[in-house]
A and B are shown apart, each in its own frame.
Chain A
Amino acid sequence: MTSLTDRYLAATLRTVPAARREEIATELRGSIEDMIDGRRADGRDAEAAEREVLTELGNPAQLAARYADRRLQLIGPTYYLAWERLLKLLLSFIPALVGVIVGLVEATDGNGGDAIGAGIAAAIQTVVQIGFWVTLVFALLERTNTSLNLPAWTVDQLQEDYVNRQIKPVDTVAAIGWLVLVIAYLPLQHFHSFVPGDDGGNLPILDPALWSFWLPVLMAVLVATVGLEFAKFRAGRWTWPLVGVNAALNVAFAAPVIWLISADRLLNPDFVNRWEWLSREENLNNVATVVIVGTVLITAWDVIDSAIKAYRTRH
């Protein structure tokens, strides 16, 4: 059986550069034995003294890092802010973009039902991939001490109303982007839902009868919401009038959706009958319940969130 000191030395030297390993081993062994002798001179028995000394020297991995002058952090202060900024920038739009593209590709392949799931899965994978690779690159930079040659910070970079700006350009662009996608999807699903009908054409997902009134209304509400995003960006923060308009637009969108789906008027009956699972009464009711609860939750959250933010700017 090897002694504790032998094992401690082996554990320490494992991660010390090979070129210096032997010399450090001899010196460290000598130092440990000196320390043990010192304790034994104070009257400790050999075994207790060895345990105490090795405990005092602490985790071998940490000691080795000190010998090798190695960083015990993944990304240090030199690179942290650049890492954080790049990660936020990439995560702000790439996963959503990939998700939409994958979803659309899946849909054009005729798998309309899987498109949303595939899009979400691709977006999540993209988040993980971006997080991993960006962090890996910065961790390597940290260990090789590479200079990034980033332009130094100057006072000119201070934005005029940065302190009070609650609404960031990125958020506004993202919000408007989604709204435009939804607005474009409403007519798109009518002509090209990717769900083939019996006659070879595409089945609209939403009831075509709604085009006489409700779908144009919903589109108008969404267009008005785009206007609200612009107004919000101009104001730079949530104000009480904006909260009021936002609440009104939310209700104007959610109320018709909830009423139409609970009256079985939202989905195209041909589309419902196309799917055996969906055409069963209880399943259709479950879908309606999920849509209603989801709509209520999203609407309520959006209104409450805007009110909280407006309240915070005042206090």
Chain B
Amino acid sequence: MGSDEVLRTHLQELRRGTVVLASLIALRHPDYGYALLQRLSGHGFPVDANTLYPLLRRLEEQGLLTSEWNTEESRPRKFYRTSDEGESVLRRLLDDLAAVQTSLTGLIEGVGR
């Protein structure tokens, strides 16, 4: 395993949890699968389609997203939206991310001194 491969797996691990976070934030504004995929990658969260689509369903089953079918356009689309429960989970996750960032900053400064 080359060092590129090592870096790639570590980056993948680091990014894995942030897809949920990004989806919950983005879906404060309702959207359907493909449009969400585009928005996320446009904001620096490249996600594989085969990861995102099943993830949306799982978050819906967990009650963090609600969904609604829109049949007005050319093809029926399922729009997801972050639920109240999803919103409170999201806030806890964002707090935790901030705490991780703070801890890292403290650690970096501590080591630097």
Contact = CB atoms under 8 A, between A and B. Distances in A.
Interface stretch (B8-16, B71-79, B102-110): B71-79
B53 A38 contact: no
Nearest to A35: B34
Most chain-A CB neighbours within 10 Å: which of B38, B49, B58, B78?
B49
B76 A63 contact: no
B78 A38 contact: no
Contacts of A58: 50
A24 B50 contact: no
Given A24-B57, A27-B78, A69-B58, A34 B50 contact: no
Chain B interface size, as a band, is: 10 to 19
Chain A interface size, as a band, is: 20 to 34
A57 interface: yes
Contacts, number: 51
Contacts of A56: 48-50
Nearest to A23: B78
Contact of A31 (B48, B49, B51): B49
Contacts of A26: 76, 78
Given A38-B34, A38-B38, A30 B50 contact: no
Given A26-B76, A27-B78, A56-B49, A34 B34 contact: yes
Contacts of B48: 56
B33 A66 contact: no
B54 A63 contact: yes
A30 B54 contact: no
Contacts of B77: 27, 30, 34
Contacts of B53: 27-28, 31, 63, 67
Per DSSP, chain B at the interface is: helix
A35 B35 CA distance: 9
B32 interface: yes
B46 to A, nearest CB: 12
A127 B57 CA distance: 43
B50 A57 contact: yes
Contacts of B50: 56-58, 62-63, 66
Given A27-B33, A34-B33, A35-B34, A66 B51 contact: yes
Nearest to B33: A31
A66 B76 CA distance: 23
A58 B53 CA distance: 13
Given A26-B76, A28-B53, A38-B34, 9 more contacts: A26-B78, A27-B33, A27-B53, A35-B49, A57-B49, A58-B50, A63-B54, A66-B51, A67-B57
Interface of A: 23-24, 26-31, 33-35, 38, 56-58, 62-63, 66-67, 69
